[in-house]
Structure 1
Amino acid sequence: MELSVRNQLKAKVKNVKSNDVSSEVVLDVGGQEMCAVITTGSVKRLGLKVGDDVFALVKATSVMIMK
Protein backbone atom coordinates (compact mmCIF):
# COMPACT_ATOMS: atom_id res chain seq x y z
CA MET A 1 0.00 0.00 0.00
CA GLU A 2 1.31 3.42 -0.95
CA LEU A 3 0.45 6.43 1.22
CA SER A 4 0.94 10.14 0.69
CA VAL A 5 1.57 10.70 4.40
CA ARG A 6 5.22 11.55 5.00
CA ASN A 7 5.11 11.68 8.81
CA GLN A 8 5.13 8.00 9.74
CA LEU A 9 6.18 7.43 13.34
CA LYS A 10 6.95 3.97 14.74
CA ALA A 11 5.07 3.56 18.01
CA LYS A 12 3.87 1.06 20.59
CA VAL A 13 0.33 1.00 21.98
CA LYS A 14 0.55 2.02 25.64
CA ASN A 15 -3.14 2.19 26.59
CA VAL A 16 -6.59 1.92 25.02
CA LYS A 17 -9.75 3.39 26.61
CA SER A 18 -12.96 2.68 24.73
CA ASN A 19 -16.65 3.46 24.91
CA ASP A 20 -19.40 2.47 22.47
CA VAL A 21 -18.41 5.03 19.83
CA SER A 22 -14.84 6.30 20.29
CA SER A 23 -11.54 5.14 21.73
CA GLU A 24 -8.50 6.97 23.07
CA VAL A 25 -5.32 5.20 22.02
CA VAL A 26 -2.16 6.30 23.83
CA LEU A 27 1.06 5.59 21.94
CA ASP A 28 4.70 5.58 22.98
CA VAL A 29 6.69 7.23 20.20
CA GLY A 30 10.36 6.96 21.16
CA GLY A 31 9.65 7.75 24.82
CA GLN A 32 7.11 10.50 24.05
CA GLU A 33 3.37 9.97 24.44
CA MET A 34 0.97 10.65 21.59
CA CYS A 35 -2.78 10.26 21.86
CA ALA A 36 -5.13 9.41 19.00
CA VAL A 37 -8.92 9.42 19.22
CA ILE A 38 -10.39 6.96 16.72
CA THR A 39 -13.61 5.01 16.43
CA THR A 40 -14.05 1.93 18.59
CA GLY A 41 -14.94 0.11 15.39
CA SER A 42 -11.45 0.87 14.06
CA VAL A 43 -9.85 -0.39 17.28
CA LYS A 44 -11.76 -3.66 16.90
CA ARG A 45 -11.09 -3.95 13.15
CA LEU A 46 -7.35 -3.44 13.69
CA GLY A 47 -7.34 -5.65 16.79
CA LEU A 48 -5.40 -2.98 18.71
CA LYS A 49 -4.15 -3.95 22.14
CA VAL A 50 -1.53 -2.77 24.63
CA GLY A 51 1.97 -3.70 23.46
CA ASP A 52 1.20 -3.73 19.73
CA ASP A 53 3.76 -2.19 17.39
CA VAL A 54 2.04 0.33 15.11
CA PHE A 55 2.73 3.38 12.99
CA ALA A 56 1.22 6.77 13.77
CA LEU A 57 0.52 8.50 10.47
CA VAL A 58 0.27 12.27 10.79
CA LYS A 59 -1.11 14.49 8.05
CA ALA A 60 -1.83 18.00 9.24
CA THR A 61 -2.38 21.34 7.59
CA SER A 62 -0.96 23.09 10.63
CA VAL A 63 1.98 22.17 12.86
CA MET A 64 3.00 24.38 15.78
CA ILE A 65 6.61 24.48 16.99
CA MET A 66 7.67 25.75 20.40
CA LYS A 67 11.21 26.41 21.53
Structure 2
Amino acid sequence: MRISARNVIAGTIVDVKKGATTAHVAIDIGGRTITASITNEAVDELGLKPGMKASAIIKASDVMVGVD
Protein backbone atom coordinates (compact mmCIF):
# COMPACT_ATOMS: atom_id res chain seq x y z
CA MET A 1 0.00 0.00 0.00
CA ARG A 2 1.50 3.32 -1.05
CA ILE A 3 -0.20 6.50 0.17
CA SER A 4 0.81 10.09 0.86
CA ALA A 5 -0.55 10.26 4.43
CA ARG A 6 2.18 10.38 7.07
CA ASN A 7 0.11 9.10 9.99
CA VAL A 8 -0.35 5.37 9.39
CA ILE A 9 -0.90 3.22 12.48
CA ALA A 10 -0.97 -0.55 12.03
CA GLY A 11 -3.22 -2.72 14.17
CA THR A 12 -5.90 -5.39 14.27
CA ILE A 13 -9.64 -4.92 13.75
CA VAL A 14 -11.49 -5.79 16.96
CA ASP A 15 -15.05 -4.77 16.04
CA VAL A 16 -17.17 -3.74 13.05
CA LYS A 17 -20.59 -2.27 13.79
CA LYS A 18 -22.75 -1.41 10.80
CA GLY A 19 -25.48 1.20 11.06
CA ALA A 20 -28.02 2.35 8.49
CA THR A 21 -25.36 3.83 6.19
CA THR A 22 -22.19 4.18 8.27
CA ALA A 23 -20.06 1.61 10.06
CA HIS A 24 -17.71 2.04 13.02
CA VAL A 25 -14.52 0.02 12.71
CA ALA A 26 -12.46 -0.37 15.90
CA ILE A 27 -8.74 -1.05 15.43
CA ASP A 28 -6.55 -2.16 18.34
CA ILE A 29 -3.15 -0.47 18.11
CA GLY A 30 -1.31 -2.14 20.98
CA GLY A 31 -3.73 -1.83 23.86
CA ARG A 32 -5.49 1.31 22.66
CA THR A 33 -8.33 1.55 20.17
CA ILE A 34 -8.85 3.88 17.24
CA THR A 35 -12.37 3.94 15.79
CA ALA A 36 -13.05 4.97 12.20
CA SER A 37 -16.44 5.90 10.76
CA ILE A 38 -16.67 4.67 7.17
CA THR A 39 -19.48 3.67 4.82
CA ASN A 40 -21.05 0.23 4.96
CA GLU A 41 -20.10 -0.08 1.29
CA ALA A 42 -16.40 0.42 2.16
CA VAL A 43 -16.64 -2.28 4.85
CA ASP A 44 -18.08 -4.70 2.28
CA GLU A 45 -15.59 -3.78 -0.46
CA LEU A 46 -12.61 -4.22 1.89
CA GLY A 47 -14.08 -7.34 3.50
CA LEU A 48 -13.41 -5.96 6.98
CA LYS A 49 -13.84 -8.43 9.85
CA PRO A 50 -12.55 -8.72 13.43
CA GLY A 51 -9.11 -10.32 13.57
CA MET A 52 -7.92 -8.81 10.29
CA LYS A 53 -4.76 -6.71 10.17
CA ALA A 54 -5.56 -3.14 9.14
CA SER A 55 -4.09 0.34 9.37
CA ALA A 56 -5.68 3.53 10.66
CA ILE A 57 -4.66 6.25 8.21
CA ILE A 58 -5.10 9.73 9.62
CA LYS A 59 -5.15 12.70 7.27
CA ALA A 60 -6.47 15.86 8.88
CA SER A 61 -6.15 19.52 8.07
CA ASP A 62 -6.73 20.50 11.71
CA VAL A 63 -5.90 18.98 15.07
CA MET A 64 -7.57 20.52 18.10
CA VAL A 65 -6.32 20.46 21.69
CA GLY A 66 -8.50 21.04 24.74
CA VAL A 67 -7.71 21.39 28.44
CA ASP A 68 -9.73 21.83 31.62
TM-score, scaled to structure 1: 0.87
Q: 5+ unaligned residues in a row in structure 1: which ranges?
A: none
Name stretches of at least 5 consecutive residues in structure 2 with no aligned partner.
Answer: none
Code of the residue aligned with 1:27 in structure 2: it is I
TM-score scaled by length of structure 2 = 0.85
Q: Could you say what the CA RMSD is over the residues aligned between the two structures, in angstroms?
A: 1.7
* Structure 2 residue aligned with 1:49: 49
The total of aligned residue pairs comes to 67
* Cα-to-partner distance string for 1:5-56 (whole Å, 9 max, x where unaligned): 0001001101011023110111101211111010000000000000000111
Name the % identity. Answer: 36
